[in-house]
Structure 1
């Protein structure tokens, strides 16, 4: 933990960095918030209200000479100032690490390449259903630093945690950790080495002890391979839809079934889960296990699994025009998410893909694209990569300069019984503020077409 007399620089003045600076400032630390670009005016106003020193358009000598750093998740280790601190052996802390120092509540932290936003939103719904006090944040909604100080010992902190947020943890120790799955993603941040990315995800349990719990998907070979090399660490509960588990939850003849200490006990029929798709069945099982570990009764778990309707920008049905359905899956920022989406959609698909490539291997989608996609419309900087991979295997391939143009192109191609699916497989930052902004633009374009039709 930091010392009050240390000079601390927070690097990156987006949501997490500003929240970390304000939290540290409230607790009596001397802070300089530094950003290489523009700071949003609304954030500048908050910093001025709190009398926090900040700078933009570059890092001053004071920033470079600070004793230690709290780094925002959007700032890579290759950024010169971060690289300099790491080379000199100066402490570099992630925002979730710093926030955890001020959180009195037990933490349930969820990571994974896919599904973590859905699962943490579902956990929030479960805690509300069970009327349990909690705060939800991290890589979803509010930054952990925004809610950490609101947590008492009676609360739970429900956290979505990305690999970037785990990269610079030191003492971060959730009482319950969960890895949903690990598939290639963000390889541009990990020297294009998948094993580096796996190592980052596995850090979520590095400080856990036998008093803590780790929840994981039993069928993920990358997670189980790493677990097989561990001698100590947290207790383990697993989930699987393909076979029994020793301690955890599995599907037995269509029924979600607890398995603990050689005893089997039914929880609920899998068909009662409101969200469709195999991936959502696995998400529901993770939610159920985390809820049980936190002492939530089965009745509340059944109710929450059966009533949760999903999250915005994840396979979100936007509308129907002339018999064609339009679905917003802007949250799909990697290849495996697109595979989930295409598998979940039954009708022929007009697929809108693209954005800022993250080192994806698009060939992994070739089979399902060839099977399900009638036309592919590419946008953003990844367009040349998508053209090289898919132009020869889809009946029609188009490239458009904007998402609005892509929606209009899809509308011209769509027929009754087809699905227009935005599922980008890419980051959004080449054209949008974030994936939420991209999803809103898609929905606005679809709504405009609905009004005109």
Structure 2
């Protein structure tokens, strides 16, 4: 798409916004960046704009924002924010950074969305393709903005995108060759007027523009995925832990099977280094893409055996004085906590922080009651979990948070 001479207002001066501004300038457009945050809070990004001679404003969104041909918004800016609402009223087109970057992508796109497991699946997908000789890039919610790498992607390359609901909110033409939907459970409801349907439909924007030439890979075990999947003329493949698939991947008798006209055993579940049913499900999604790309079974097996997982996701940190410590700081919703608790066999100490996003904690009630011996909350105010834990009579260790406290207890063992 030719954007030379176009005036583009970019909302948000963080990683995605800065990357979009640099891309716009590189393509001959005239970007202007606006952020309502204080200059001090976005200082590290401001220096980039100044080095690039890109005009910007902080501490406000002025009328200058509306002097543009269209707006590119960062994923951190809520879709209901005042500046975007006003732009809509003025009839100004709004695009996500994902959408904007996709206009300049020459390669093939594999886009992965879902409430949980996106980063692990994106990483495993990228790793499997690289191990199999593909030239690939990974970007999106995983950390690197799509706009930062898109001009490096050649016609024979693949980009694996982790797509959050925020990045899919303002798409118009974005059309991945492979769209993967892992699961949909309540999360970020504070960004969607506490309406789960709005959140789910945002996720499903990933297949909005797909055609019969594209592939949709979806979790056949997830009722929400099935219920919110729109009718689309697209090549569909399911994956399941619970049943056989005529088209797709599934588990049977400890093996991962791929079915498409004929059935074949690709590898054993035990070949996958990262453990837990949720990771087997993630791996089935990757396996399905790999088979559609013609990757041999032995290369898939080798990649699954070699991939060591990602940071902050039930990541073993160290053993100190007989106590094992695991970092699962990416468990930012109730379902993530459910998966984490299911990965341990013995009673554990649970440390929680952050803010409530409108989730229902009843899903983990039984697991917490059965497995959590004590807990620590690091929050600014009382949350539903605090009330929830009191109902379960769990002891709070907030006032006793010292390593010595744990040395007296028998260490928890992670389920293998």
Query: Which TM class, normalised by the smaller chain length?
Result: over 0.9
Q: Kindly report which structure 2 residues correspond to 1:61-210, keeping only aligned pairs within 5 A, or say none.
A: 61-210=63-212
- For the pair 1:268 / 2:261, whether they are aligned, the reply is no
Alpha-carbon displacement from aligned partner over 1:154-179 (angstroms, at most 9, x marks no partner): 10011001000000000000000001
Note the C-alpha offset of 1:410: 6.4
Give the TM-score of the pair, scaled to structure 2.
0.95
Q: Kindly report which structure 2 residues correspond to 1:34-433, keeping only aligned pairs within 5 A, or say none.
A: 34-37=34-37, 38=39, 40-227=42-229, 230=231, 232-261=232-261, 263-381=262-380, 383-399=382-398, 408-409=401-402, 412-413=405-406, 415-419=408-412
Gaps of 5+ in 1: 401-405, 422-453
Note the C-alpha offset of 1:70: 0.3
Alpha-carbon displacement from aligned partner over 1:7-29 (angstroms, at most 9, x marks no partner): 21100011111001101110001
Find the residue that maps to 1:243 and give its secondary structure: coil
**Aligned partners of 2:306 and 2:22: how far apart in 1?**
36
Find the residue that maps to 2:396 and give its secondary structure: strand
Alpha-carbon displacement from aligned partner over 1:384-422 (angstroms, at most 9, x marks no partner): 32221112314302446xxxxx8x34651454533499x
Alpha-carbon displacement from aligned partner over 1:316-350 (angstroms, at most 9, x marks no partner): 01111222211100000100000000000112111
Q: Are the equivalent residues in 1 in contact too, given 2:346–2:413 (CA < 8 A)?
A: no
Q: Are the equivalent residues in 1 in contact too, given 2:179–2:216 (CA < 8 A)?
A: yes
- For the pair 1:15 / 2:15, whether they are aligned, the reply is yes
Q: Are the equivalent residues in 1 in contact too, given 2:345–2:413 (CA < 8 A)?
A: no
Find the residue that maps to 1:280 and give its secondary structure: helix
Alpha-carbon displacement from aligned partner over 1:49-105 (angstroms, at most 9, x marks no partner): 222111111122211343321000000022211111123331000000000001100
Find the residue that maps to 2:264 and give its secondary structure: strand
Find the residue that maps to 2:313 and give its secondary structure: coil
Q: Are the equivalent residues in 2 in contact too, given 1:376–1:394 (CA < 8 A)?
A: no
Distance 1:378 1:164, change over 3 A: same
Deviates more, 1:131-140 or 1:47-56: 47-56
Note the C-alpha offset of 1:315: 0.3
Q: Are the equivalent residues in 2 in contact too, given 1:414–1:420 (CA < 8 A)?
A: no
Distance 1:383 1:319, change over 3 A: farther
Find the residue that maps to 1:51 and give its secondary structure: coil
Gaps of 5+ in 2: none
**Aligned partners of 1:420 and 1:354: how far apart in 2?**
23
**Aligned partners of 1:259 and 1:29: how far apart in 2?**
47
Q: Are the equivalent residues in 2 in contact too, given 1:351–1:420 (CA < 8 A)?
A: no
**Aligned partners of 1:329 and 1:147: how far apart in 2?**
28
Distance 1:165 1:72, change over 3 A: same
Deviates more, 1:360-369 or 1:291-300: 291-300
**Aligned partners of 2:35 and 2:188: how far apart in 1?**
22
**Aligned partners of 1:396 and 1:207: how far apart in 2?**
51
Alpha-carbon displacement from aligned partner over 1:401-445 (angstroms, at most 9, x marks no partner): xxxxx8x34651454533499xxxxxxxxxxxxxxxxxxxxxxxx
Q: Are the equivalent residues in 1 in contact too, given 2:3–2:27 (CA < 8 A)?
A: no
Computed over aligned residues only, the root mean square deviation of the Cα atoms, in angstroms, reads: 1.8
Find the residue that maps to 1:9 and give its secondary structure: strand
Deviates more, 1:190-199 or 1:390-399: 390-399
